Amino acid sequence: MALCEYFTFGMKNLFSDNNINLSFIHRIDQVTIGMDDTLTIMLVLDMSGTESLRIFKDAVDFLIQINSRKRVGVLVSRYNSYLTYYISRKFAGKVTFFNSHNLRSGLFQRNFQTWLRGKTFRPMHTINRYRDERYGFSLKEWICLVLPLAGESIGEMSRCMKIPEPTLYQIRRGALKKIRAEFLPAIL
């Protein structure tokens, strides 16, 4: 599932010689699910806007609800890899992450092909610790700031991360104070 036409063009060219049939969709409701087949789907984490985040959230929620066999992969970049922690918790660890920066080295192609065959070769690890260099945000602070933009409620985040709602609100408030402290002196 990808919104970017450049990405779909690149993937088609990358795997044109390997007898791999790729289908690209823009929304999860375009997926047809066979009861006997294993659904193999790779989501692309696109953070270019709130609409693309909502589409990604809808896809994750849909995939969690279906009861048929599925294999889920998520393509992330180093700029949004901090969300792998939350996505992994949503799928109860049954997700494989791919790093988009491995496209140049050929490692992505090798990982993707082995993943399609049901194996994994050096998958990307889930990010469990993160500290933003500019604002000093922790992993939980970034999650509390970004996921509500996708339509994820604090209640959903609380259940997924097993953190009480008041604690998440405190974490979010602390992150907003850091942003205010960064931008307020520049305005004055």
* Statement to judge: residues 99 and 176 lie in one domain: no
* Statement to judge: residues 109 and 46 lie in one domain: yes
CATH of the domain at 55: 3.40.50
pLDDT at position 84 is 93
- 137-187 pLDDT, tens digit each: 899 999 999 999 899 999 999 999 999 999 999 999 999 998 887 766 655
* Statement to judge: residues 111 and 147 lie in one domain: no
Domain membership of residue 127 (yes or no) is: no
Tell me the pTM.
0.84
Domain membership of residue 37 (yes or no) is: yes
- Tell me what percent of the chain is helix, strand and coil, each rounded to the nearest 5: 50, 10, 40
H or E element in which residue 40 lies: strand 39-44
Domain membership of residue 134 (yes or no) is: no
